[in-house]
Amino acid sequence: MRCLIVEDDARIAADIAQALEQAGFRAEHAADGESAWFMGGTENYALIVLDLGLPRIDGLTVLKRWRSEGVDIPVLVLTARGSWNERVEGIDAGADDYLPKPFRMEELVARARALVRRASGRVNPVQQVGRLALDTNRQTVSIDGRMLNLTQLEFRLISCLVMNAERVVPPVELLEQIYGDDDSRDVNAIEAVIARLRRKTGPGVIGTRRGFGYFLEQSP
């Protein structure tokens, strides 16, 4: 799942990116409001982490522009501790949640997961689709109770299929979600990851609709 981190402090941005990537996200970074406005309005992200104190265009203005343009990506706003007025303004502007600085990375990751689950209509951290169970808190995937040993790439792909369990997901969308803006990749990379996953899950878990994409089998 792709996420956008909007933070002008390079060290903080790197720490957030590391924490979210360890949690199964594919993190991208914007260091100013103008870049963030463009990226958030033109790219497909599962989550945006937005600091309000940004150069060029402040975070609150960026958020208002996104919402006025119909961008409905979940946004977790980072605010200065004690700035209750920033929190109110952020929520009024369309923020889905806020986190005051300084914060623990564990809390940021937990809130990020909750926002993504809520946006996909799923509240429980353990998602069951057919024979497959995904635990977003423990970052585990099991088939009929048997734990799978997955790479981060495989976990991100499975997570994307779970969060879109009601539809067929095109290879290009999967490519975008797990590799981000790496233009050197093509759909063959997705086919290779799917092939590895099928060897681990066995038959009857990941389905293919020719010419359309991949989906998770719903029948147990």
Question: 46-60 burial, b for 16+ CB within 10 Å, e for fewer?
Answer: bbbbbbbbbeeeebb
48 token code pair: 């945006």
Instruction: Please tell me what DSSP assigns to residue 208.
Output: E
The residue among 188, 134, 143, 186 whose CA lies nearest residue 165 is: 134
Render 88-129 in DSSP notation, one character per residue: HHHHHHT-SEEEEES--HHHHHHHHHHHHHHHTT--SSEEEE
Q: Rounded to whole angstroms, what are the CA distances from 58 to 17, 23, 122, 149?
A: 21, 28, 32, 42
Antiparallel, parallel or unpaired: β 213-216 and 206-209: antiparallel
Q: Tell me: the pLDDT tens digits for 17-61?
A: 999 999 889 999 999 999 999 999 999 899 999 999 899 999 999
**Which domains does the chain carry?**
2-119 (3.40.50.2300), 126-216 (1.10.10.10)
pLDDT tens-digit series, residues 126-140: 889 999 999 987 889
Mean pLDDT by 10 residues, the chain (220 residues): 94 96 92 97 94 93 94 90 69 86 91 87 80 89 94 89 90 82 71 93 93 87
pTM, two decimals, is 0.71
- Residues 6+ away with beta carbon under 8 Å from 100: 78, 79, 80, 81, 82, 83, 87
Locus of tokens 């009024």: 92
For residue 147 the two structure tokens come to 């734990």
